[in-house]
Structure 1
Amino acid sequence: MTFLLTGVPRAGTTLCCNILNNQKVFLALHEPINPSKLIPDTRTPAYLQIKDKVLEIKKSISLGLPIELGDAKQGLAVNNPVGLNVDAATGKRKLQAVRGSVLLKQYIGKNVQLVIKQNALFTALLTELRREFPIVCVVRNPVDVLLSWWTISLPVSRGRLPAGEQNSALLASRLRGLDELNRQFTIYEWFCESYEPYRQNTVRYEDIIITNGQALVEKFNITSPSLSELAYQERHFPEDVLHKLRAAQNHITSMNTFGFYTKQEITDRLQQVLSQQ
């Protein structure tokens, strides 16, 4: 069986891959599908191209052929695609992942439960992909998501979501004409709205941490998991980011998370971050 894993960018889907790779007969891959390589405007819809790509990935692993991953340097051990070092020119943390090919010799000929992770691409095609694969979605408190987006150098930090906009006409239309900050709010709400019909298949990052991964593995029907202690990684933020957070807090507490987070949970997290800085 092949599972798909998706979620809000910077909501912990890479952590989920690490947890799953510690389980017996599970193999979780970090972004093995390059959205830019999907062929637009063809008779083969994007979700069917993804289905074909999944079959190709499975065959390559079984035969010992190289596959592409979102981070070829760290491979299955990818911890965080964004580094901790801050770029002096932008003041933001830079992407350290380098896409490339890897060879997974240890899985040649083995029967594994494959998990493929992609964020925006799978979310944009969620309705169609659900007909083909079981899917697990990951969400996170908007306070933490936005803080991450504001401190990294990725398209979403500029209010852009290329794979989402290219494959979801709804998202593209909603973003049109908005400024950067409001595009980010809209992107976050679009993710939550997309997952709302599949609430039973959606897990919160906070619950994954609190349960040391149990909340995640239950979504994959893993009955005897191998789990390790997890903890929050509190970070300190520069004053300009905190100022931005204070200025936007009324908008943030009014965001529509489609029931995944209450206004009180968002307010409490805001107060916690601002009081610790």
Structure 2
Amino acid sequence: MTEFKKDVILTGIPRGGTTLSAALFDNLENAVCLSEPNWQSNWFNRIKDANTVTEYVVNDYQRVRSLIMENKPIKDRRNKNGSPITNYFSDKRNGRRVRLLKQGEFTFQVENENFLLGMKHNEHYTSILPQLIATDAFSIIAIVRHPIPTILSWKSLNLGVSNGRLPFAEPFWKELQEITRTRDKSILTLVKIYDLFCERYLSFSNDIHLLKYEEIINNPNVFEELTGLSFKNNVELSNRNQSKNYNFALADQIKNAISNHAPNALKLYQLDEF
């Protein structure tokens, strides 16, 4: 990989720490990171050709850059004061967790036209990762997290992946389609989905920056080291791998499925690390 580019793709395993990573990236001097822009989701829903949707993404970075430089509002998921959020979902209330924030309109202050612009999507960008790499337009960061807390997080929520589906990614990712077409919500299906993400990131490890959530928690300065920029504010993080929202009774079942069906996950993580 060459020097860090101004346009940055931030992706990773769903519930793997990408929202937190986007917030850290946004906290860098002269940097902005948008969190799952809805208008791009519309493209992934409507367009079924990977090269076409990739071209849309490339052009969108230039469009958003212009809007930021012109001090025009952009829709994003943020706190009312404009600070980035680190988690989309609340703790359990009445037995369920709810999404915290809808998108609002915000303007962004940057130092100059050479600011870093990041955008974060998980399944979307990962599904077209080969095409994004081929453009040579981006630096790409992918975030992974230990499989047991990741899958426990999926099971604690009612997301597409919780139900064995990733609809925005399936049209562009044949191997994913083969797993999700059964509409199976079992632990084994979720483990296979997790492992497929790991396989994709490992296969392109020479072209992306692959970071572990646990390493980010221990050393958030990895984003300063990666980009050469300093944080605007002090950062204090806590590890959510032992969240009270998770059903840890499922941990052994997940561990057994990983041992038998997730060889790529085992290249990244040892099960006794959890």
TM-score by length of 1: 0.82
Matched with 1:121 is: 124
Higher relative contact order (CA 8 A, sep 6+): 2
Matched with 1:235 is: 243
CA shift, 1:245, in A, is: 2.5
Q: What SS does structure 1 have at the residue aligned with 2:142?
A: strand
Query: How far apart in 2 are the matches of 1:111 and 1:177?
Result: 46
Say which is worse superposed, 229-238 or 9-18, in terms of deviation: 229-238
Matched with 1:9 is: 14
Query: What is the one-letter code of the residue matched to 2:98?
Result: K
Query: Residues 49-98 of structure 1, C-alpha deviation per residue, up to 9 Å, x if partnerless?
Result: 11122222111111122222245757542121111233x3xx33122231
Q: What SS does structure 1 have at the residue aligned with 2:20?
A: helix
Q: What SS does structure 1 have at the residue aligned with 2:214?
A: helix
Query: How many residues get paired?
Result: 259
Query: How far apart in 1 are the matches of 2:122 and 2:205?
Result: 17
TM-score by length of 2: 0.83
Matched with 1:274 is: none
Say which is worse superposed, 73-82 or 171-180, in terms of deviation: 73-82
Query: How far apart in 1 are the matches of 2:65 and 2:201?
Result: 26
Judging changes above 3 Å, is the alpha-carbon distance between structure 1 residues 110 and 145 closer, same or farther for their aligned structure 2 residues? Answer: same
Say which is worse superposed, 172-181 or 183-192, in terms of deviation: 172-181
Matched with 2:76 is: 69
Q: Is residue 94 of structure 2 the alignment partner of residue 94 of structure 1?
A: no
Query: What is the one-letter code of the residue matched to 2:214?
Result: E
Matched with 1:272 is: none
C-alpha root-mean-square deviation of aligned residues, in Å? 2.6
**Which of the residues 27, 31, 45 maps onto 2:32?**
27
Q: Is residue 188 of structure 2 the alignment partner of residue 185 of structure 1?
A: no
Query: What is the one-letter code of the residue matched to 1:218?
Result: E
Identity of aligned residues (%): 25
Kept after mapping to 2: 8 A contact 1:63/1:108 = no
Kept after mapping to 2: 8 A contact 1:29/1:116 = yes
Report matched runs for 1:249-268 at 5 Å.
249-254=255-260, 255-258=262-265, 260-262=267-269, 265-268=270-273
CA shift, 1:109, in A, is: 6.6
Matched with 1:84 is: 91
Query: How far apart in 2 are the matches of 1:166 and 1:70?
Result: 26
Query: How far apart in 1 are the matches of 2:248 and 2:50?
Result: 48
Query: How far apart in 2 are the matches of 1:43 and 1:186?
Result: 23
Query: How far apart in 1 are the matches of 2:69 and 2:141?
Result: 24
Q: Is residue 222 of structure 2 the alignment partner of residue 218 of structure 1?
A: no
Query: Residues 180-226 of structure 1, C-alpha deviation per residue, up to 9 Å, x if partnerless?
Result: 12331122112111101233510111111112x1234333x326556
Matched with 1:53 is: 60
Query: What is the one-letter code of the residue matched to 1:97?
Result: L
Gaps of 5+ in 2: 1-5
Query: What is the one-letter code of the residue matched to 1:54?
Result: Y
Gaps of 5+ in 1: 270-277
Kept after mapping to 1: 8 A contact 2:7/2:138 = yes
Query: How far apart in 1 are the matches of 2:173 and 2:50?
Result: 17
Matched with 1:104 is: 107
Query: Residues 10-62 of structure 1, C-alpha deviation per residue, up to 9 Å, x if partnerless?
Result: 11111112212222111111112534421424796110111122222111111
Kept after mapping to 2: 8 A contact 1:120/1:164 = yes
Judging changes above 3 Å, is the alpha-carbon distance between structure 1 residues 32 and 76 closer, same or farther for their aligned structure 2 residues? Answer: farther
Query: How far apart in 1 are the matches of 2:193 and 2:13?
Result: 9
Matched with 2:3 is: none
Judging changes above 3 Å, is the alpha-carbon distance between structure 1 residues 104 and 12 closer, same or farther for their aligned structure 2 residues? Answer: same
Judging changes above 3 Å, is the alpha-carbon distance between structure 1 residues 35 and 74 closer, same or farther for their aligned structure 2 residues? Answer: farther
Q: What SS does structure 1 have at the residue aligned with 2:204?
A: helix
Kept after mapping to 2: 8 A contact 1:166/1:172 = yes
